[in-house]
Amino acid sequence: MEWYWTLSLSLVLLFALMATGLPVFAAFLLANISGVLVTVGSRGFGMFTNSLYETITSESFVTIPLFILMGEVLFRSGSVSVLSRAVDVLIGRVRGRLYLLTLSLSTIFGALSGSAVAVAAMLGRSVLPQMTEEGYDERLSNMTILGGASLAPIIPPSLLVIVIGSLVTNVSIAGLLVAGVVPGIILAVIMAIYIFIRVSLDPSLAPAQEHVVDHSLGDRAKAVLSMLPFGIVIFSVMGLILLGIATPSEAAAAGVVGAVLTACVYRRFSLAMLWAALRSGASISAMILMIVACSKFFGQLLAFFGATTGLINAMGHLSIDPWLMLFILMLVPLILCMFIDQFAFLLLAIPLYDPIIRTYGFEPMWFWTLFLITLTIGSLTPPFGYTLFALKGAAPHVSISEVYRSAWPVVAIFIASLVLFALVPVFITWLPGLL
């Protein structure tokens, strides 16, 4: 069978299985089993089990459960709530303060969870009702939550980045992790400026008399001091990587230790909390690693049947301008992530995109950071973005049409930023270059 038929049939089968509502790992698993049975027969299951074992026991994937455990410890210990109150005190009496507080919290939660859907659902349940009750504009409130939540896949430590670094050849996981720092900060600042301008031009978007206590200089100093223990976690992860002291796996382990120390400093540590964090982290990690293992074997099957080689050769013979190819490679996830999960598409795209990137000579850290931003835009774009439905599900009183209208400014900001980062790669490559 020609390579393009193999590739097309494999993708059609995989999409059809996902469309039935099967879990992502089950769709990849059934596609793999079908491919092995049809082409190799029962002899191929030895190759299948070896691939699964190799992936699950790979040292680079240890980073995933460790980062998940770090986030679980910080959330379940209540340490994050201490940080939330400190940020609230520091913002003080600013018109539209809850917008800025929500944007700050979503950035923090995004760094801990790595999931835009999870952060949108969390803030939709916890913060949005308070904003509505205090008279904040519903559409701008939704936009703030969607925008802040969408930073999760970009800012480190992002699980999607770790998966990319583990599966893509000749790419540093540490470099990919720190590559998202500057773009994440720029996106957060642009959204904060947008909110400030909107509130300044139309003061009715925020209540005139906001329910906030005037805090003294001493209160602000205490708020800063209460935030310092989180510096342990930040230094344990990003500091050790940037200084070249630790690998991402070692930094993730140090981050877990830092999270436990932070919980102890806040006097919120208990064995019951640690056990709950371990159980939840193990469950989430097992699911993610199973998905990664099945998707990696899917890519190996494509290579075994010649689909990957055929795609490389076909791309090599095409006389497409690199910028046009970049546009095409970004357009595909932008459209497809309106319909399927970011994680699922990422795992599907890696074995197909990696050879194309090498053929065209795109700088890997620059390309994959742009790719992550594009995935985020896809999950934000009406009418089928996953992040939109997460917010709607967490806030039943908000109509889906309002969620759609709230999303468009965020989509515009992310697309404009994507163009900026594509044209000025130094925003992405500068910090990894310091490693």
pLDDT at residue 125 greater than cutoff 60: yes
- Residue 352's pLDDT is 80
- Per-residue pLDDT band for 412 (boundaries 50, 70, 90) equals very high
Query: Do residues 136 and 207 touch, judged by C-beta distance below 8 A?
Result: yes
pLDDT at residue 212 greater than cutoff 60: no
- Residue 211's pLDDT is 55
- Per-residue pLDDT band for 154 (boundaries 50, 70, 90) equals confident
- Per-residue pLDDT band for 316 (boundaries 50, 70, 90) equals low
Q: How many CB atoms lie within 10 A of CB 171?
A: 17
Alpha helices in 214-321 (DSSP H): 217-234, 240-242, 248-265, 271-304, 307-317
Within 13 Å, how many C-alpha atoms sit on residue 114's CB side? 25
- Residue 339's pLDDT is 62
Mean of all residue pLDDT scores within the chain? 80
Who contacts 327 (Cβ-Cβ below 8 Å, separation ≥6)?
none
Instruction: Give how far Cα 342 sits from Cα of 34, 375, 387, 421, Å.
Output: 24, 6, 10, 20
pLDDT in tens, 236-281: 777 787 777 877 778 888 888 888 888 888 888 888 888 988 888 8
For the chain, the residue count is 435
Q: How many CB atoms lie within 10 A of CB 419?
A: 11
Structure tokens at 71: 């986030």
- Per-residue pLDDT band for 210 (boundaries 50, 70, 90) equals low
More confident: 342 or 372? 372
CA distance 205 to 218: 31
CA distance 156 to 186: 14
pLDDT at residue 204 greater than cutoff 70: yes
User: pTM of whole model > 0.85?
Assistant: no
Q: For the chain, give the percent of residues with pLDDT over 70.
A: 86
pLDDT in tens, 218-236: 777 887 887 787 777 878 7
- Per-residue pLDDT band for 96 (boundaries 50, 70, 90) equals confident
CA distance 356 to 393: 38
- Per-residue pLDDT band for 408 (boundaries 50, 70, 90) equals very high
- Residue 391's pLDDT is 83
pLDDT at residue 1 greater than cutoff 80: no
Nearest 5°: CA angle at 426, between 102 and 71? 35
pLDDT at residue 166 greater than cutoff 60: yes
pLDDT at residue 190 greater than cutoff 90: yes
3-state secondary structure of 306: coil
- Residue 215's pLDDT is 66
Nearest 5°: CA angle at 119, between 157 and 14? 80
pLDDT in tens, 13-59: 777 776 777 776 777 778 878 877 777 666 667 776 777 777 667 76
pLDDT at residue 110 greater than cutoff 70: yes
- Per-residue pLDDT band for 112 (boundaries 50, 70, 90) equals low
Question: Mean pLDDT, to the nearest integer, of 121-142?
Answer: 82
pLDDT at residue 187 greater than cutoff 90: yes
